[in-house]
Amino acid sequence: MKLGRVAGTVVSTISHPIYDGRRLLMCDLLSADGADTEDYLICVDAVGAGAGEVVLILDEGNGARQIVGDPDAPIRAVIVGIVDELLVDGSLHDVTGG
């Protein structure tokens, strides 16, 4: 699992049919304390995440395919949760971006 912050939506005019009706979101990856790592992933949104929200990303193809229910889907990363709080070593970290 990885932490990310939704940076925007990815639009593709031509894609595999498994992406029909699914949103692709670009997520900036975050370190364990919520700091930007300057890396990113493009993820299938399974939870209705919005821009600026901190999300939990499953970055493992087999698990992602299980979530979308297709063992042959060309999917690697999927958003599986929206983070409300980030508590690391007893310290609460701000994940709201402000």
Closest CA to 30 of 59, 7, 46, 54: 54
Overall domain count for the chain: 1
> Which strand (E) or helix (H) includes residue 62?
helix 61-68
pLDDT value for 97? 60
Per the domain annotation, does 68 fall within a domain? yes
Per the domain annotation, does 93 fall within a domain? no
Q: Are 53 and 84 in contact (CB under 8 A)?
A: no
CATH number, domain at 15? 2.40.50.220
| Amino acid found at 89 | D
Reported residue count of the chain is 98
Q: Is the predicted pLDDT of residue 4 greater than 80, yes or no?
A: yes
Please state whether the predicted TM-score (pTM) of the whole model is above 0.95: no
β-partners of residue 24 are: 10, 44
- Reported as a single tens digit per residue, the pLDDT across 23-71 is 999 999 999 888 899 999 999 999 999 999 999 999 998 999 998 899 9
Report CA torsion sign: 86, 82, 53, 46.
positive
